[in-house]
Amino acid sequence: MAAARENMSYRDIKQVVVDRIQNRIWAPDSLLPSETELAEEFSSTRTTVNRALRELAEEGYLERKRKAGTRVLNAPVRKAQFSIPLVRDEIAETGASYRYSLVEQTLLAAPDWLAARLELTQGRQVLHIRCMHYADNAPFQYEVRWIIPESIPEVLEADFTQSGPNDWLVQKVPFTNLEISFMATKADQAIAEFLDAPAGDPVFTAERITWLRGAPVTLAKLYFAPGYRMTTHI
């Protein structure tokens, strides 16, 4: 069968390994030859084989343990990757025009549920923003957001009438920790009105919490217009 070929790149090796897994030459739960042996078979080096196997492990095909060796995973715990783009970009990518509109901006005391969610001490001041994102003038996403000025004081001077808090935050808050949840919620009166959907209808919802070096910066609830699907291929 597959005789040793010359000049196999780590990509080639990945492909061969995946093929063998898919064709059950290496069945689920079975042990692969050691890196050294594979390097020999592929007339390659252990470094190159290592990279191939390491990436396949990251992709969920293999499990690797020192001494134990490399094993084919049977559970397809394949990792789905979603990129979480800015609404603006998400809309632009479909070729539609993007429009933003501010609905409300107020400074208020953090409601209890928010304080609990973000682990704030009570009575903290927060900036509350509601806004809309349109694609080709049709409602695309209704955004309800809370920002903690204590974590990012400049926000009190920011102007959200022309562009959304998302755009602003991206410029101000470099890279942080995120928690993203997806769920289905029932459209209340406000959501229904802004998304132009019947009240009570199901709405695909994302909740996104952002931290900057341990301090909570913002919580956003993103309500998507009816028909929205989040899709990925692996």
Binding site for a copy of itself (CB under 8 A): 18, 21-24, 28, 60-61, 74-86, 89, 170-171, 174-186, 200-205, 212-213, 228-234
Burial (CB count <10 Å: 0-12, 13-18, 19+), residue 107: exposed
3-state secondary structure of 155: helix
Decide if residue 46 touches DNA (CB under 7 A). Answer: yes
Task: Name the residue with tokens 């979603």.
Answer: 82
172, interface contact from DNA, a copy of itself, none, CB < 5-8 Å by kind: none
CA separation for the pair 2, 90 (Å, rounded): 44
3-state secondary structure of 93: helix
CA separation for the pair 49, 128 (Å, rounded): 52
CA separation for the pair 44, 4 (Å, rounded): 10
> Residues 119 to 138: which contact DNA by CB under 7 A?
none
Decide if residue 163 touches DNA (CB under 7 A). Answer: no
Least separation in angstroms between residue 37's CB and DNA is 8
Q: Which window, 64-72, 76-84, 171-179, 209-217, contacts DNA (CB under 7 A)?
A: 64-72
Least separation in angstroms between residue 43's CB and DNA is 7
Residues that bind DNA (CB under 7 A): 7-12, 32, 34-36, 43-48, 50-51, 53-54, 57, 64-70
